[in-house]
């Protein structure tokens, strides 16, 4: 199972339930859909069966009757495996994808209308669909206005977010430079986002001074954990395990473990830390404690526990296995299998644990 602990979309890591989807996917290939020259909108869903947010999107959001009705009337929906299918991989790269689910909307000419990265609930997704249908507040409509000379602060705010999702660094830099040049006109959160963007960009040149300054100056930013993860990712890329772990622990201590921190995100981030420690085979006692806490949080929430818990149980089982507590690891992974019996990865984990007990 691919557990990408460095994702900026860390809150979407949970696996999904065993609900079945009735979404009307098309059997057309991408090229066949383009050749139709249709008035309908091509909807590309880049996904992986191994990724929780993709499964959740399909069985919860796309399964809604309102979304299905909209699809039947206006969309040609194509499901493309971004990880394990060569065609999906090629198209994912072509569209400059960096995270899944990636949802791309094209007109009949193959021109991109808009895109969305990450899970969206039904109401948010319906709003996106209607905006795409009417070409309102889409990347295409906003960029057209910008290219025609519109420098309205609301337009720059919206377009800067969309250019980041497209990883259009040239446009993003241009837009955020406008924000910094006209700082008095923009909301403080937009200015803060511009600072965050340039801090992230500097890391690409091995300059972490700006992200360290961002963490110091914007302690209450909605991007603060994202900034920590940028720094964590940098240290990991340099194989500096000591600073990677230290930064992870500082993030947990200063933000995630506070009572005021969002409880839904807390469970995900604790699980992320726990899994990474299992990979590094470091701080395993603390990792186990954080893993158990993340499970307790999910158990306490008024949510569909089955949609979140198996992945957390898998993390706990992996840590126990690394601690040579093999029988306990097997018992925990059995719980995950009971909740998600069709997921082969959990079956493979159980076999791995059992084989290690036999000394194989």
Q: Which of 79, 74, 80 is nearest to 135 (CA)?
A: 74
pLDDT tens for residues 286-314? 999 999 999 999 888 765 555 678 889 99
Q: Is the peptide bond before 41 cis (omega within 30 degrees of 0)?
A: no
Does the pLDDT of residue 358 top 80, yes or no? Answer: no
Comparing 19-28, 224-233, 341-350, the range with the smallest average pLDDT is 19-28
Domains of the chain: 10-136 (3.40.30.10), 137-186 (no CATH), 206-259 (no CATH), 262-360 (1.25.40.10)
pLDDT tens for residues 323-339? 999 999 999 999 999 98
Does the pLDDT of residue 2 top 90, yes or no? Answer: no
pLDDT at 102: 96
pLDDT at 8: 38
pLDDT at 6: 40
Rounded average pLDDT over 70-99: 94
Q: How far apart are CA 311 and CA 274, in angstroms?
A: 12
pLDDT tens for residues 158-211? 999 999 999 999 999 999 999 999 999 999 999 999 999 999 999 999 999 999
Does the pLDDT of residue 53 top 50, yes or no? Answer: yes
| Strand-by-strand arrangement of the 41-47 sheet | 75-81, 41-47, 102-106, 112-117
pLDDT at 4: 38
Rounded average pLDDT over 236-253: 97
Does the pLDDT of residue 70 top 80, yes or no? Answer: yes
Q: How far apart are CA 167 and CA 175, in angstroms?
A: 13
């Amino acid at each position: 199972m691919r557990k990408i602990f460095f994702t900026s979309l860390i809150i979407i890591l949970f696996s999904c339930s065993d609900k079945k989807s009735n979404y009307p996917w098309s059997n057309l290939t991408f090229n066949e859909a383009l050749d139709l020259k249709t008035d309908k909108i091509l909807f590309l869903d880049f996904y992986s069966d191994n990724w929780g947010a993709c499964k959740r999107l399909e069985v919860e959001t796309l399964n809604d009757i309102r979304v299905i009705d909209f699809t039947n009337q206006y969309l040609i929906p194509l499901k493309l495996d971004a990880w394990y299918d060569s065609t999906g991989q090629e198209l994912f790269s072509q569209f400059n994808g960096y995270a899944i689910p990636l949802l791309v909307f094209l007109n009949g000419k193959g021109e991109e209308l808009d895109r969305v990265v990450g899970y969206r609930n039904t109401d948010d997704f319906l709003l996106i669909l209607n905006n795409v249908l009417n070409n309102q507040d889409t990347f295409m409509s906003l960029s057209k206005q910008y290219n025609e000379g519109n420098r309205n602060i609301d337009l720059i705010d919206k377009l800067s977010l969309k250019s980041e999702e497209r990883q259009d660094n040239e446009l993003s830099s241009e837009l955020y430079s406008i924000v910094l040049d006209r700082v008095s006109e923009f909301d403080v959160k937009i200015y803060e986002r511009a600072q965050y963007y340039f801090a992230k960009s500097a890391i690409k040149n091995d300059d972490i001074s700006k992200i360290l300054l961002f963490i110091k100056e914007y302690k209450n930013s909605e991007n603060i954990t994202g900034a920590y993860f940028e720094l964590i990712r940098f240290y990991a890329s340099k194989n500096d395990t000591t600073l990677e772990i230290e930064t992870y622990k500082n993030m947990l201590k200063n933000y995630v473990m506070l009572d005021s921190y969002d409880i839904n995100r807390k469970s995900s981030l604790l699980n992320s830390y726990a899994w990474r420690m299992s990979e590094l085979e470091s701080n395993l006692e603390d990792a186990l404690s954080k893993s158990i806490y993340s499970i307790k949080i999910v158990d306490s929430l008024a949510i569909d526990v089955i949609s979140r818990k198996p992945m957390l149980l898998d993390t706990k089982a992996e840590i126990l296995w690394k601690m040579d507590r093999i029988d306990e690891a097997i018992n925990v992974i059995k719980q995950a299998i009971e909740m998600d019996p069709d997921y082969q990865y959990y079956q493979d984990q159980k076999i791995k644990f059992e084989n290690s007990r036999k000394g194989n």
